[in-house]
Amino acid sequence: MNCIVTISALAALGAVSVPGAAFAQTASDLVGTWMLVSNINIRPDGSRIDLLGPRGTGITIFDTHGRYATMFINRDVPKFASNNRVQGTAAENKAAVEGSLAHFGTYTYDPATKTINFKIEASTYPNWTGTEQTRTTVTLTGDDLKFTAPAGSTGGTGEVGFKRVK
């Protein structure tokens, strides 16, 4: 029993690697390209919604220098009739904004609190530019990355999952 407690304590401190350990130990564990596999919002009433629809896609890239870029897109947003992105109708522009989000900047990872902190330099949602945001309960199991985030647009909590690109 003491051996199990000691190994568990050492694993929690990052001193040993235990198969099945689910948390990233350092920021370098996040480095790479990650494709979105899920982006679910759990509303305050407990209902669940896929924010990007059934064909939603996205990518997040963490580099070795503490920089990141992320983009989420609903593939089912209709094309603009004009075939010109600056000549969209009000309805087309609304659908495009609601169906996409991108931002980039710098990131840090805190293994003690299992959080990623994004310092957003620019975002397609202008209110996020210049802000800092935290993603919590970061888990990394093999090539699967998951975290939670406040779901600002609809309230509740977002659960976001990625798969590492090889």
User: In the block, which residue shows the tokens 């406040």?
Assistant: 150
Please report the DSSP string for 38-58 in residue order: EEEEE-TTS-EEETT-TT-EE
Query: Is the Cβ–Cβ distance between 147 and 158 less than 8 Å?
Result: no
Per-residue DSSP letters for 86-113? GG--HHHHHHHHHTEEEEEEEEEEETTT
Please tell me the predicted confidence (pLDDT) of residue 23: 66
pLDDT category, 16, cuts 50, 70, 90?
A: very low
How far apart CA 41 and CA 32 sit, in angstroms, is 25
Q: Encode pLDDT of 110-145 as tens digits.
A: 999 999 999 999 999 999 999 999 999 889 998 999
State the pLDDT at residue 22.
Answer: 58
Q: Would you state the pLDDT for residue 137?
A: 83
2 vs 70, residue with greater confidence: 70
CA 16 to each of CA 2, 11, 140: distance values in angstroms, whole numbers, following the listed order: 16, 5, 16
Distance separating alpha carbons of residues 9 and 80, to the nearest angstrom: 56
The percentage of residues in the chain with a pLDDT greater than 90, rounded to a whole number, is 70
Tell me the per-residue pLDDT of 58-82, one tens digit each, with 9 for 90 and over: 999 999 999 999 999 999 999 999 9
Mean pLDDT of the chain: 85
Q: Provide the token pair at 75.
A: 């593939």
User: And the tokens for 152?
Assistant: 């600002």
In the chain, the domains with their CATH numbers are: 18-164 (2.40.128.360)
Return the DSSP state at 27: G
